[in-house]
Amino acid sequence: MLGHCSNYRQHYLQHAPTIIKVLQDAPISPIEEIGLKTLFRNCIGTFLVLHELLLFLPRETLRKELHFFCEELFRPAYDSDDLSVILTSVYNAFEYSLDSALRQSDVFLMKVPDPNKLAFGHVMELAIIDRDNPLSWPILAHEFGHYIDQKFTITDPLTETFIDTELKVPAAQRAHFRKLFKPLASELFADLTAYYLLGPVAILPIVNMELTFGMATEKPIPYDGVHPFTSTRLQVITDAAAADQMTLGLFGMYTQALNEDELAKVSKLPQAEQKERASVRQYTTFFAQRLRGVFLEEIARLNLSRFQVEHFQTAEQLRISLESGIPIGCKRRVADEVIGDRISRLTRTAPIAEIREVFELYREIPVRVAEVLTAAWIANTGRKVKALTDAFALGDISGVFPFLRQSLERQDALVMKSIEMISVIKEMVSAPQ
Amino acid sequence: MLLNDLDILKRLVDPDPTKRIVVTPLADPIAQIGPSSLDIRLGAGFKVPVSSQTPAINPYKEPQSAARYMREVDVDNRQPFYLHPGEFALASTLEYIHVPYDLGCRLEGRSSWGRLGLLVHATAGFIDPGYSGNVTFELFNAGRLPIELKPGFRMAQLCFMTLSDVPGIPYDKRPESKYHQMLTAEGSRIWKDR
């Protein structure tokens, strides 16, 4: 932001001779007058836009746990201040360029720009209502995917190659196919980046959002020309996870709910629309299947930390502690049964070195944030029906929503505490006392 | 009877969940396990008193006076929290603990901090059987120089002792319990007293 403003310093210096003339009441030429007016208008415009943006922003800061989440997943981009996250007042997560936001703000109508029309860049929005909701933070990993796609120009050339070599379309139709596939490629790449960093649960906040809001409408979510249908996106991630040996029982509930909802709604549409949707599904699925592997290879080149099957297994173990109400930021390397066996055989007369060796078995090491979030999503998915059953079994209808709220907030608090544990211990290890 | 190091360690992996002590994370067992105690660390959340808008704390007539008394201060793990002479602050342990029904637990200071004038609890050093959650430190600097604190510092120690028998109503079963399952530094809830 300051970098953008500093450009004006240069512009002012360039126009300094004209400014001096004006200050001295000396005559200036019509060209100098236009130049000066443009400079003032742009400069004032920028500051008004900055003011406008600040005015519309919520007055809340990001949580320190979210900073750690971004640092662990997105470094070194996040460390180098190349990337920032802000909270927004809308139920939205978006990733955009600040320059684009400044250019498109309508200062005179005092409107913030429509994020959907902004170019991708390096500012990631998070809805303020998700500030304390860590299960929604994986959406930022999707937005990070757009950032790296933009920064390293990944999907555009790959899509071009796909159109030329796989589809083999005539030159006259290439523009049409580019328009069709480029936004899709960008979204699929972002989904796969989130999957690469956080594992299969990275798609669940998006699915959850659609289940929450989409189910409230009579019509199926329309195809916007950019995002594939959520069920297709879920299928892409399920396929990727299966290829990585991650079995996703937890997805069954989501897949079933999404498919049933969509089928019921689509069946009420006119035949022509049904046919069109089937065609969209067909070509997005084909496109995703063809490019999934290539996209993952491209992400792998960026030296990001990949979520793999062993992390998924750790998460499944951590879920048990989380469901018992215990924070899960750390784990022991050795199973409790093994330690129990060693300590029970230890005598008080054993050499000090041997006793300390047993002590060492109790050491807990920090897990990954991605493992914590995966454990929380698994627990959350399995818990929903039980939580609802327990809440309605209370007998007091006024107590149902407070009960559900308490249950949800408790898990969020446990996840936050787990992230705090990871960050404190990692910092201790990097800077020993 | 006070539990010694090996007994504490056995309890940490006891296959019977009703007997198991939970202290997590145990980041450096060799440093943290003493002959009859287990050191615990400072977490990253603090609360400091705000006195400018409250003339006095009157918990029974004006419950909000006690609730408003403490303000949350989040500390980045790389940044210190300075506790100045004569100042009081609440902080949370990094560790989540669970005390089984057949044990009592005491929060004690560490000599190395005590010698600098740092107290870790104002008056409440006892943790009841059945308690689960993070423990709140009541930090007070009785020395003459500010003390720089950072999340992860070993601040205090827990001692465990056996009870004559399991209590009739442990802490987690008692409706009057006010601080069960706390995960952050919690201010006083004295207005809930009857």
- CB–CB of B29 and A346 under 8 A? no
Integer Cα distance of A361 and A332 in angstroms: 8
Distance CA(A264)–CA(A249), nearest Å, equals 24
Interface list for B 84-113 with A (CB within 8 A) = 94, 96, 98
Between residues 55 and 74 of chain B, which touch chain A (CB distance below 8 Å)? 74
Amino acid at B95: E
Overall pTM > 0.80: yes
- Domains annotated on chain B, with CATH: 42-49+61-166+173-187 (2.70.40.10)
Distance CA A225, CA A258 (A): 20
- pLDDT for position A121: 73
* Alpha-carbon B43 to chain mean position: 10
* Residue of chain A with shortest Cα separation from B152: A424
List average pLDDT for each run of 10 residues in chain A, which is 433 residues long: 66 79 83 83 69 62 86 80 74 74 64 71 80 91 91 89 80 82 90 94 85 71 83 88 83 77 86 86 85 90 92 94 94 94 90 93 96 92 71 71 79 94 89 56
SS3 B142: coil
Record: contact B30-A64, CB cut-off 8 A:
no
B62 assigned to active site: no
What residues does A87 pair with on adjacent strands?
A126
Rg (chain A; Cα; Å) = 27
Tell me the backbone φ, ψ of residue B144, rounded to 5 degrees: -115, 0
- Distance between CA atoms of A258 and B101, rounded to whole angstroms? 46
| H/E run at residue B29 | helix B29-32
> What distance in Å separates residue B115's CA from the closest CA in chain A?
18
Q: Pick the more confident residue, A408 or B111.
A: B111
d(CA B101, CA B104): 8
Mutate to test the interface with B, among A421, A422, A423, A433 (most CBs of B within 10 A): A421
Residue B44 to residue A420, Cβ atoms within 8 A: yes
Please state, as a whole number, how many other Cβ atoms lie within 10 Å of the Cβ of residue A401: 10
Chain A residue numbers with beta carbons less than 8 Å from the beta carbon of B113 are none
Instruction: Judge: A428–B152 Cβ closer than 8 Å, yes or no.
Output: yes
Q: B153 contacts in A (CB within 8 Å)?
A: 433
- Return the residue in B8, B28, B37, B76 with the most chain A beta carbons within 10 A, the one to mutate for interface testing: B28
Q: Does any CB of chain A come closer than 8 Å to the CB of residue B132?
A: yes
Residue-level pLDDT at B87: 93
Question: Which residue, among A369, A309, A318, A373, has the nearest Cα to A73 in the 3D structure?
Answer: A369
Name the minimum distance, in Å, from the CA of B146 to any CA of chain A. 18
Q: Give the per-residue pLDDT at A199.
A: 93
Distance from C-alpha of A326 to C-alpha of B97, rounded to nearest angstrom: 9
Catalytic pick among B62, B72, B138, B186: B138
Asked if A201 contacts A374 with a C-beta cutoff of 8 angstroms, the reply is yes
Comparing CA positions, the residue from A48, A49, A37 lying closest to residue A11 is: A37
Nearest residue of B to residue A411, measured between CA atoms: B183
pLDDT (average), residues B128-157:
94
Give the pLDDT band (50/70/90) at residue B139: very high
If DSSP states are collapsed to H, E and C, what string results for chain A? CHHHHHHHHHHHHHCHHHHHHHHCCCCCCHHHHHHHHHHHHHHHHHHHHHHHHHHHCCCCCCCHHHHHHHHHHHCCCCCCCCCEEEEECCCCEEEECHHHHHHHCECCCCECCCHHHCCCCCEEEEEHHHCCCHHHCHHHHHHHHHHHHHHHCCHHHHHHHHHHHHHCCCHHHHHHHHHHHHHHHHHHHHHHHHHHHHCHHHHHHHHHHHHHHHCCCCCCCCCCCCCCCHHHHHHHHHHHHHHCCCCCHHHHHHHHHHHHHHHHHHCCCCHHHHHHHHHHHHHHHHHHHHHHHHHHHHHHCCCCCCCCHHHHHHHHHHHHHHHCCCCCCEEECCCHHHHHHHHHHCCCCCCHHHHHHHHHHCCEEECCHHHHHHHHHHHHHHHHHHHHHHHHCCCCHHHHHHHHHHHHHHHHHHHHHHHHHHHHHHHHHHCCC
Query: Are B15 and A336 within 8 A, CB to CB?
Result: yes
A288 closest CA partner among A178, A181, A156, A174: A181
